[in-house]
Amino acid sequence: MERRGLLGWPTWIGVVVEDLDSQRGFWADLLGLPEDHAGDDFASFKMPDGRWFELLQRSDDPEYDRRRFQVGFQVDDIEAAHAELVRRGVEAITPIYEGEEPWAYFRDPEGNVFEIKQALVTDP
C-alpha cells in the first residue's frame, strides 16, 4: 500500500501511567501477552504483528509529564521525517533517540504528544 502522507499507520501506542506496577499486571492480563522487555520506568508488550504497546512511568520529562495515551507513527526515514516536521513548524520535544528502531517525540498545536519511529514492521 502506497503511503501518501509523511506519517504511516501507528506502530506504537504508549500509555503514561502513575503506578507502573499495577498497570503492567492489568494490561498483561487484558492483552494476554507477557512483557517483551521492561525497565524501571517502562514495560513493553510486542504484539503478534510486530507493533508495540508500552507502559511508561509518568515523570518530569516533557514526553511523559502527565497521564495520557500517545501514538507512535511509522516513518520510512527518521532523519528526513524529523527535518520535515521541524521545517513545518512542528515542535520537537526530544532529539532522535538512536537504536534499532530510532524514535523522536513531537507536540501538536494543542499540546498532544506523538512519536515518529523508523520501525521494522511493514504495513499489513
**Domains of the chain from N-terminus onward:** 10-117 (3.10.180.10)
Q: Counting beta carbons within 10 angstroms of the beta carbon of residue 61, is it exposed (0 to 12), middle (13 to 18) or buried (19 or more)?
A: middle
Please state the rounded mean pLDDT for residues 1-18. Answer: 84
CA separation for the pair 12, 56 (Å, rounded): 12
Q: What is the pLDDT of residues 71-116, one digit of tens each?
A: 999 999 999 999 999 999 999 999 999 988 899 999 998 889 999 9
Provide DSSP, 54-77. Answer: EEEE--SSGGGSSSEEEEEEE-S-
Say which residue the cell 501538536 belongs to: 108
Q: The whole model's pTM is what?
A: 0.80
Residue 37 near residue 24, CB atoms below 8 Å: no
Residue 29 has a pLDDT of 93
Residue 121 has a pLDDT of 56
Cell of 102: 530510532
pLDDT above 60 (res 122):
no
42-46 and 103-107 strand pairing? unpaired
Task: Give the confidence band of 123 by pLDDT, cuts at 50, 70, 90.
Answer: very low
pLDDT above 60 (res 5):
yes
CA separation for the pair 93, 20 (Å, rounded): 23
pLDDT above 90 (res 67):
yes
Q: What is the pLDDT of residues 13-63, one digit of tens each?
A: 999 999 999 999 999 999 999 999 999 999 999 999 889 999 999 999 999
